[in-house]
Amino acid sequence: MGHISRCSPSHKIFLDLSDDLGYSYLGSRTISQDVSSVTGKPQSVARAALNAVGGDQHEACALLMSGLSVAVTGGPCEVASLELGSPAWVGGEGVVSSVGSFAGSFILRFPRYCRERVDLLSLETIEVFMIAASGTQGPHWTTDEELSSPEISAPLDNACLQRKTFKPGPVSFSLEHVELILITVVRNNGSLPPRNSHQSPAPAVDSCQTPNHGPAPSTESRTSGNLAAANLQWIGDLGAGSFGSVHLARTAGGTAVAVKRVRVTSGHEMREVQMLRKASHPNMVKFVDSFSWNSPDGQACVCIVMEYLPENLHTRINGRPLSAWYVRHFSVQLLTAATHLDALQICHRDLKPENILLSQDDVLKVCDFGSAKLLGRGPSCNYVCSRWWRAPELILGARDYRTSVDWWSCGCIIAEMMSGQPLFRGDSSWGQMYAIVRILGTPTQREMQSLVPEQDGQRLAQHFASLVKLRRSGRPWAELLPAFAHLSSSLAIPRKLLTYCPKDRCHPSMLLSAPFLSSRSEVKLPGTSEPKSKRRHQAQHGHLVERNPKRRCLLVSA
Q: Which residues are annotated as a binding site for ATP?
A: 260
Burial class (CB in 10 A: 0-12, 13-18, 19+), 202: middle
180 contacts 152 by C-beta, under 8 angstroms: yes
Q: Identify any residues that bridge with 81 across adjacent strands, giving them in sequence order.
A: 106
Considering Cα of 216, then 219, then 221, then 224, what sign does the dihedral take? positive
d(CA 486, CA 533): 18
Q: Mark whether 119 is an active-site residue.
A: no
Do residues 63 and 49 make contact, with C-beta atoms less than 8 angstroms apart? Answer: yes
Give the dihedral sign, CA 69/321/508/283: negative
- Cα separations (Å) of 531 from 322, 514, 526? 16, 20, 10
Sign of the torsion formed by the C-alpha atoms of 167, 172, 174 and 175: positive
Q: Per-residue DSSP letters for 527-545?
A: T-SSBGGGGGGGSGGGB-S
The DSSP-derived string for 146-191 is SSPPPEESSPPPSEEEEEEEE-SEEEEEE-TTEEEEEEEE---TTP
- Calpha distance 182→93 (Å, rounded): 17
Catalytic residue from among 342, 350, 368, 406: 350
Burial of 212 (0-12, 13-18, 19+ CB in 10 A): exposed
Q: Is the dihedral of CA 350, 419, 336, 511 positive or negative?
A: positive
**Residues annotated catalytic, as ranges:** 350
